[in-house]
Chain A
């Protein structure tokens, strides 16, 4: 990677940026889920490694969150964008050199940001925990060059029209920058009080709603038609999805604070918009599933389709939960409980991780023109992820329902802790399975890069048979 930093643009092989981002993202996925598994162990067994200051739960919890969001999810997005955007535009990436620098500075910045968080230097705001100098670094050094590459590639495309995926990519990068700069205003300008609390959640909601969910969906808009060979069921339904994301997903930030003394009208508004998040969800899920017509056998046979469609299936409970759990009628019961933790993992570890993993699997094969090293290891990875995630999700949902019941029946809190203990252990087991699965994945991808069979020019990796 380093040798390309000062190379001429023409000398850098196409796809280098995407590859570097892809391998970085897998590495961060291992780190992030490892931290998650460690944290979960601490919740199950509080005296696990207790005398080491650096391994305190309160210092590590946010490092897990940011390693996974900014390391795995965002970098897998970057990897996908760096090869999907040019492909769909029938052109080259605008600047591989900028991309390589972007990837390097992204990794360096993320290490720095996580080290500072780990040491306790935090703004004290959930999801925008980073201190404001780091926020500025993330916005201008990590995200703006990435966005620039995407935008310029879209502008320099050689196709008529812009395919839904690129429409999403370009707009989501724009919205991410806006959300980052507006959402961190409380830190830049020292806003205080309820304004600060609300802006914190405005940021948290929109970084999930305007970056993670739509980009993950956009990736599946590419992967499914590309691998199955079916054209997307409807480009225009894709646009309905896009517009309803912009209009309905950017508004319900206040539903994260339904039990705080925010103005009641704001909660009402957020609540209605929160349910209307189902509009993009329905448009999206039906579009993808209708695209699969006649190709459902690939859901079994093809690892990328298997990952993607599993992600799309997980988007159904995700959006059903997300739409309804924020209404006053349900939120009072489950707010602040493990249910929400389960929901957050359904969004990030369920839906979007499965979609991105497919894009990374596919990207590495296409860019290196090498067939995946082992389908057995890939299937092992798939099942470790799916079973690990399911254990996590089910156990935390149950724990959340226990907590909710205890909340309304005024059970002494320590009894909740005791009742939750078995589910905390299951959560740890689930998280550990995901972590172990990812190590296998890294091995599989490394072997693909070094020992995978060559895919002939003009052929899809899916058209080449596995040899092992």
Chain B
């Protein structure tokens, strides 16, 4: 093998070729990264830009796929109102019918008020039975002044879920802003990639498809 560590490697590229590569590298202004500093084909550049923009747009960290306690707070208030309670205690109706009628009444009332939770409410339908189970917990949280958006409805329980790095003992290490740590790293990651790949690809040594028989092995 003849691998000596003081001079581990030698180059097949001649000094002239290196100089030529260096000349090309140094004497271009904003050239592309294809051969001889030609830019990439425009459609390819377009696709790559589109990819980057899409990546950033589609992964924008919006949480909210799970129902938070906040979207049901108004349901609870309405459930405890006199009108709804009257329907619920209507002896003439069967239990199920009363529930349905009461829920219809709540939803009809809610339509009159504009709310940031309208969309989420459509996503997360709730029945009267479920509402009954979570209502006392939501009321309790409201009394204690908690931010209902931090709480997630998980079956019958109203729990702090892990969307905001909440620790088992309840402390919130970081309530994530609209940009989060991972998203920020991703932005830097891409910028450093662009810089590094331009340097690396442009500094590639001379390349030719022609075989070199000057050195016998």
Contact = CB atoms under 8 A, between A and B. Distances in A.
Contacts of A158: 12, 211-213, 215, 217
Interface in B172-188: 176, 180-183, 185-186
B115 to A, nearest CB: 23
A237 interface: yes
A272 B55 contact: yes
Contact of B176 (A265, A272, A323): A265
A263 B176 CA distance: 11
Interface string A128-160: 000000000000000000000000100010111
B126 interface: no
Contacts of B43: 286
A323 B156 CA distance: 36
Contacts of B65: 328, 332
A87 to B, nearest CB: 10
B217 A91 contact: yes
Interface centre among B48, B213, B215, by most chain A C-beta atoms within 10 angstroms, is: B48
B212 A264 contact: no
B23 to A, nearest CB: 17
A263 B58 contact: no
Interface string A241-267: 001100110010000000001011111
Nearest to B56: A272
A159 B51 contact: no
A460 B156 CA distance: 71
Given A161-B206, A236-B33, A272-B182, A264 B12 contact: no
B189 A251 contact: yes
Contacts of A91: 217
A90 interface: yes
B61 A264 contact: yes
A309 interface: no
B195 to A, nearest CB: 11
Contact of B201 (A239, A267, A278): A239
Contacts, number: 157
Contact of B58 (A159, A247, A324): A324
Contacts of B213: 158
A30 B40 CA distance: 42
B201 A240 contact: yes
Interface in B183-217: 183, 185-186, 189-190, 193, 196-197, 200-201, 204-213, 215, 217
B161 to A, nearest CB: 8
Interface centre among B189, B200, B209, by most chain A C-beta atoms within 10 angstroms, is: B209
A268 interface: yes
Contacts of A248: 193
A279 B34 contact: no
Contact of B35 (A236, A265, A273, A278): A236
A161 B207 contact: yes
A243 B41 contact: no
B47 interface: yes
Nearest to B9: A155
Contacts of B1: 152
B126 to A, nearest CB: 13
Contacts of A279: 48, 51-52
A414 interface: no
A271 interface: yes
Contact of A276 (B12, B51, B204, B209): B51
A283 B44 contact: yes
A161 B212 CA distance: 10
Given A264-B162, A265-B182, A282-B44, A276 B190 contact: yes
A231 interface: yes
Nearest to B52: A276
A4 to B, nearest CB: 22
Interface centre among B59, B186, B189, by most chain A C-beta atoms within 10 angstroms, is: B59
A90 B164 CA distance: 57
B54 interface: yes
A274 B204 CA distance: 28
Contacts of B12: 158-161
B35 A234 contact: yes
Contacts of A290: 41
Interface centre among B17, B56, B200, B211, by most chain A C-beta atoms within 10 angstroms, is: B211
26 contacts: A158-B212, A158-B215, A159-B208, A160-B13, A160-B17, A160-B212, A161-B13, A161-B206, A161-B207, A163-B207, A236-B33, A264-B163, A268-B182, A268-B183, A269-B181, A270-B182, A275-B54, A275-B55, A275-B58, A276-B51, A278-B51, A279-B52, A282-B51, A286-B44, A286-B47, A328-B61
Interface of B: 1, 12-13, 17, 33-35, 40-41, 43-44, 47-48, 51-52, 54-56, 58-59, 61-63, 65, 162-165, 176, 180-183, 185-186, 189-190, 193, 196-197, 200-201, 204-213, 215, 217
